C-alpha cells in the first residue's frame, strides 16, 4: 500500500500549515490579558484539519473534510479564572477576547505587564511517515470497502456492517505569562468496525477498532481486514451464547481489554482536581497501600503511536511517564497547571482540553497496569469456575466512592480451568479500589487496548489504556441466568 506521493519506506515531507498565530501577536495578546492585574495568562491556539469516511450496509454514506482554527485565552487572578475563545485571529479579535477573559478574572487595578516568550523545543514522541491529508480520499474509501468485504466473508450470519475512518492533523501553540512558548503537531488515524450477525437466537453485535497517533502507515502495521473478521467473529460467536451467570465469582480479564476499567474506576480518582475537591476515594492516601502489591499503575503521554500520546499537554508542558501506584502503594496524582501551583508541585503533563473552545483540566493520557509474574494460561488454569472477559464495553463510575458498572461485550464461562461457553452480554459490578486490592494474579502479556474518548465535564479527549491478563478474585456479575 502507498499514498501516491511517497513509498511506504520513505518519509513524506510534512504538508505546510500556516502558522496559527505569530509570536509578536501572542505577546501583545498576553499583555492585554495581564493589563488589569491578573496573576497568570495563557494563549492556546490550534489549527485542525480532519477527514472522515462512513460506510453502512455496503454503501459509502459520507466523505467529509473540515478545518477549525481558533484561540482560547485564559486569565487567572487568585482563585478566579476568566476564559474567552474566538475564531477571529486578527489583532482586534484577539484583543477583544483577551480583554473579555481579563475582565472575568480582574481586580481592575490597571497597570501594564509585558511578557518575553522563550520557545521550548518539543520532545519527539513519535514520527509520521505518510501524512493522511496527502492520501487521496479514494484510498480511504477503498479501505472501508475492504473492511466490509472482510467482515462479510466471516460467515453468512453477518447481515450488516458499519465502519468509519477518520484522520486529523492538529497544529497547536501554547504560550503563557511565565514565558512559556511551546508547539505540537499531532497526527491521528482511526478506524471503527461494527458487525451485526443474525441467527435462531436473534441478532448479536461485534465491535473492533484501531487508532494511533501516527500517519497512514498505521494501516501497514495493523491488518484492517483481520480486525473486521474479528468483529464479525464476536457477533457470530454470541449467537450461541448462554445467559451470563449472576453473583460474585472470580473474573479473568484478557490483556488489553481491561484497561478501560482502571481508567474509569481508578484513574479519574487519581486526577488532582477530584482529589482537591474531596471527590476522590484516594484523597489523603499518598504513601498508603491501596492495591495488591502486584499492581503498578502508570499514566504515560509519551508512548509512541498510542492514542493518548502528545509531545506537550494542552497547557504547553511536556508529557511524561507518571507512576501513580507502585507495587500497590499510592505514590502520586496527575496534575495540571492550577492544581500543581496550588500544591507547589510541577505539572505532570496532564492538562488537557477538547479544543480551543474549552478550558484545560486534569486528564489522563495513556493509563495502564504494568506486567506481573504470571503466565496467562496459568491464570485461567487455576480458576475452577469464573468468567473470562475478552472485551469490556462502556460503563459508569462514582469517583468519590469508586463504585462502577461495566458492560461485558464478549465473555466466556471458565469451568475446571478451561474457557468454555460464550456468554450473553452482562455487567461487571464492583468498586475500583477493591478491585485493585483483589487482583491475585497478574500476567506477563501486557497489551494496550482499543482507542478511547474520555468524557469529563462535557469534554472528550483521546486516551489509551491497557493491562496484562489478570484475575480479580471476586467481582459481581450482573447476568440473567438463574
Q: Is residue 232 located within the same domain as residue 256?
A: no
HSE-CB of 213 using CA atoms within 13 angstroms: 24
Phi and psi, residue 26, nearest 5° = -60, -50
pLDDT value at residue 115: 62
Q: Is residue 412 located within the same domain as residue 350?
A: yes
pLDDT value at residue 380: 98
Q: Is residue 137 located within the same domain as residue 199?
A: yes
Q: Is residue 272 located within the same domain as residue 194?
A: no
Which domain range does residue 411 map to? 247-478
Domain count of the fold of the chain: 2
The answer as to whether 5 is a domain residue is no
The answer as to whether 120 is a domain residue is yes
The answer as to whether 13 is a domain residue is no
Q: Domain boundary residue among 239, 270, 292?
A: 239
Question: What is the pTM for the complete model shown?
Answer: 0.92
Ranges of the chain whose pLDDT falls below 70: 1-20, 107-117, 480-482
The answer as to whether 258 is a domain residue is yes
pLDDT value at residue 113: 52
Distance CA 84, CA 357 (A): 8
The answer as to whether 223 is a domain residue is yes
Q: Is residue 268 located within the same domain as residue 223?
A: no
Q: Is residue 111 located within the same domain as residue 198?
A: yes
Distance CA 70, CA 33 (A): 17
For the stretch 371-403, pLDDT in tens is 999 999 999 999 999 999 999 988 888 888 889
The answer as to whether 106 is a domain residue is yes
Q: Which residues contact 166 (CB under 8 A, 6 or more apart)?
A: 50, 51, 52, 53, 188, 189, 190, 191
451 and 209 Cβ atoms separated by less than 8 Å: yes
pLDDT value at residue 110: 45
pLDDT value at residue 119: 76
Q: Domain boundary residue among 205, 239, 273?
A: 239
Phi and psi, residue 210, nearest 5° = -145, 150
Q: Is residue 100 located within the same domain as residue 230?
A: yes
Work out the widest C-alpha separation in the chain, in whole angstroms.
Answer: 76
Q: Domain boundary residue among 239, 267, 298?
A: 239
Distance CA 39, CA 22 (A): 23
Q: How many CB atoms lie within 10 A of CB 341?
A: 15
CATH of the domain at 146: 3.30.2290.10
pLDDT value at residue 107: 54
pLDDT value at residue 17: 41
Q: Is residue 208 located within the same domain as residue 255?
A: no
The answer as to whether 357 is a domain residue is yes
Q: Is residue 341 located within the same domain as residue 283?
A: yes
For the stretch 89-98, pLDDT in tens is 999 999 999 9
Q: Is residue 279 located within the same domain as residue 413?
A: yes
Q: Is residue 188 located within the same domain as residue 311?
A: no
The answer as to whether 117 is a domain residue is yes
Q: Is residue 293 located within the same domain as residue 223?
A: no
Distances (CA, A) of 17 to 6, 52, 184, 245: 19, 20, 12, 55
Amino acid at each position: 500500500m502507498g499514498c501516491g506521493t511517497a513509498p511506504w519506506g520513505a518519509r513524506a515531507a510534512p504538508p505546510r500549515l500556516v502558522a496559527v498565530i505569530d509570536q509578536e501577536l501572542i505577546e501583545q495578546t498576553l499583555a492585554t490579558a495581564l493589563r488589569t492585574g491578573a496573576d497568570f495568562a495563557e494563549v492556546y491556539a490550534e489549527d485542525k484539519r480532519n477527514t472522515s469516511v462512513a460506510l453502512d450496509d455496503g454503501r459509502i454514506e459520507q466523505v467529509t473534510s473540515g478545518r477549525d482554527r481558533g484561540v482560547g485565552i485564559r486569565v487567572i487572578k487568585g482563585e478566579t479564572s476568566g476564559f474567552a475563545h474566538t475564531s477571529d485571529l486578527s489583532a482586534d479579535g484577539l484583543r477583544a477576547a483577551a480583554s473579555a477573559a481579563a475582565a472575568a478574572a480582574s481586580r481592575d487595578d490597571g497597570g501594564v505587564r509585558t511578557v518575553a516568550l522563550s520557545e521550548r523545543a518539543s520532545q519527539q514522541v513519535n514520527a509520521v511517515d505518510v501524512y493522511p491529508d496527502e492520501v487521496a480520499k479514494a484510498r480511504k474509501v477503498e479501505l472501508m470497502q475492504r473492511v466490509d468485504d472482510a467482515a462479510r466473508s466471516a460467515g453468512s450470519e453477518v447481515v450488516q456492517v458499519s465502519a468509519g475512518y477518520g484522520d486529523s492533523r492538529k497544529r497547536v501553540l501554547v504560550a503563557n505569562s511565565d514565558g512559556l512558548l511551546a508547539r505540537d503537531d499531532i497526527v491521528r488515524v482511526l478506524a471503527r468496525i461494527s458487525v451485526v450477525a443474525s441467527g435462531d437466537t436473534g441478532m448479536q453485535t461485534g465491535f473492533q477498532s484501531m487508532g494511533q497517533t501516527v500517519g497512514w502507515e498505521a494501516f501497514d502495521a495493523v491488518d484492517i481486514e483481520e480486525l473486521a473478521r474479528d468483529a464479525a467473529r464476536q457477533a457470530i460467536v454470541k449467537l450461541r451464547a448462554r445467559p451470563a451467570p449472576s453473583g460474585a465469582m472470580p473474573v479473568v480479564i484478557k490483556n488489553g481489554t481491561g484497561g478501560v476499567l482502571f481508567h474509569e474506576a481508578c484513574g479519574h480518582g487519581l486526577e488532582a482536581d477530584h482529589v482537591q475537591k474531596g471527590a476522590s476515594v484516594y484523597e489523603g492516601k499518598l504513601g498508603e497501600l491501596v492495591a495488591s502489591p502486584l499492581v503498578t499503575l502508570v499514566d504515560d503521554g509519551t508512548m509512541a503511536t498510542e492514542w493518548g500520546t502528545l509531545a506537550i499537554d494542552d497547557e504547553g508542558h511536556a508529557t511524561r511517564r507518571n507512576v501513580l501506584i507502585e507495587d500497590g502503594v499510592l505514590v502520586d496524582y496527575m496534575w495540571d497547571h492550577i492544581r500543581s501551583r496550588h500544591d507547589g508541585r510541577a505539572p505532570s503533563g496532564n492538562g488537557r482540553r477538547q479544543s480551543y473552545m474549552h478550558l484545560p483540566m486534569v486528564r489522563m493520557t495513556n493509563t495502564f497496569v504494568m506486567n506481573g509474574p504470571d503466565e496467562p494460561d496459568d491464570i485461567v488454569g487455576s480458576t475452577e469456575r469464573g468468567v473470562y472477559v475478552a472485551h469490556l464495553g462502556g460503563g459508569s463510575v462514582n469517583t468519590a466512592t469508586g463504585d462502577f458498572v461495566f458492560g461485558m461485550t464478549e465473555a466466556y464461562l471458565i469451568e475446571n480451568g478451561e474457557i468454555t461457553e460464550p456468554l450473553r452480554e452482562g455487567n461487571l459490578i464492583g468498586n475500583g479500589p477493591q478491585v485493585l486490592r483483589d487482583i491475585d494474579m497478574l500476567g506477563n502479556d501486557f497489551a494496550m487496548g482499543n482507542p478511547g474518548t474520555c468524557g469529563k465535564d462535557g469534554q472528550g479527549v483521546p486516551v489509551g489504556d491497557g493491562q496484562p491478563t489478570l484475575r480479580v478474585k471476586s467481582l459481581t456479575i450482573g447476568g440473567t441466568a438463574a
